[in-house]
């Protein structure tokens, strides 16, 4: 069996430091063979700098996925084009820097990792269903099983994607909302699924953001400068145990540390 540890959106540089101090030991304790984390909020909430991307990849993370804030930092563009350890949503236009999927070797197995972004309440990118169908068709025969980060706002859209690709993608996990859901499950055709991994970041704000600014925005509807919250850090995610021979998930459980 292969164990894949997936971590929710990393928020702020303090969270990077926290992962640097804890992740290697957690990875060892869990016996994780592959660690995937969403990094789009790691640099001051909106975006990921090239330096912070390197720092995350030194923490014990093997692969970074992204989302709607992918292009918040221009210095990341070259990193996206040249480093296969980071992917962005595959349904961005082809001219956008980076790639939307990658195949990585994990203990001799070829694991196709896909990143896709939802459309509901978000920027209208290409159809995520069709995008993933084309990727699976294009890569057929060149991977042993697949996993997917669904970066989306609507829980219904995430679950709809999971239902469509149940049995074809071994593990599917949602990111973006920063709130861990309690619906970890194995779908009827054997795919592991959770609607949202939650957040790896400060717990004392609102979704990792300074609470006062968020409250002021709601109460006044005036522009506010959002900054990363202070306080304790917690990492949230899920551990998928996959039988690589069948491409089925045999267990999925939430992880916090």
User: Coil, strand, or helix at residue 220?
Assistant: helix
User: Coil, strand, or helix at residue 26?
Assistant: helix
Residues 124/152, Cβ–Cβ less than 8 Å: no
Q: Does 69 qualify as catalytic in the annotation? A: yes
Query: What backbone torsions phi and psi does residue 216 show, to the nearest 5 degrees?
Result: -60, -40
Please tell me the distance from the alpha carbon of residue 202 to that of residue 101, in angstroms, as a whole number: 29
Spatial CB neighbours of 82, under 8 Å, sequence gap ≥ 6: none
Spatial CB neighbours of 138, under 8 Å, sequence gap ≥ 6: none
User: Coil, strand, or helix at residue 193?
Assistant: strand
Concatenated DSSP letters for 103-125? EEEETTEEEEEEEEE--TTS---
Per the residue annotation, which of 46, 69, 176, 178 is the catalytic one? 69
* Residue pointed to by tokens 């697949």: 146
Active site residues: 69
């Amino acid at each position: 069996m292969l164990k894949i540890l997936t971590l929710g959106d990393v928020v702020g540089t303090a969270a990077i430091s926290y992962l640097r101090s804890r992740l290697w030991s957690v990875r060892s304790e869990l016996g994780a063979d592959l660690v995937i984390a969403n990094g789009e909020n790691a640099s001051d909430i909106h975006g990921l700098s090239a330096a912070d991307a390197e720092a995350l990849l030194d923490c014990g993370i093997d692969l970074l996925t992204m989302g709607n804030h992918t292009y918040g930092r221009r210095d990341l563009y070259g990193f996206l084009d040249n480093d296969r350890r980071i992917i962005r949503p595959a349904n961005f236009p082809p001219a956008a820097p980076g790639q939307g999927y990658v195949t990585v070797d994990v203990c001799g197995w070829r694991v196709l990792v896909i990143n896709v972004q939802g459309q509901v309440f978000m920027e209208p990118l290409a159809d995520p269903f069709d995008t993933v169908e084309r990727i699976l068709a294009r890569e057929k025969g060149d991977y042993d099983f697949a996993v997917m980060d669904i970066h989306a706002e609507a829980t219904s859209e995430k679950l709809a994607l999971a239902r469509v690709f149940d049995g074809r993608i071994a593990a599917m996990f949602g990111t973006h909302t920063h709130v861990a859901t309690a619906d970890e499950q194995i779908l009827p055709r054997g795919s592991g699924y959770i609607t949202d991994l939650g957040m790896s970041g400060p717990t004392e704000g609102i979704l990792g953001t300074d609470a006062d600014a968020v409250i002021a925005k709601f109460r006044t509807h005036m522009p506010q400068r959002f900054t990363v919250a202070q306080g304790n850090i917690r990492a949230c995610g899920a551990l998928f145990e996959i039988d690589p021979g069948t491409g089925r998930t045999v267990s999925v459980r939430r992880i916090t540390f």
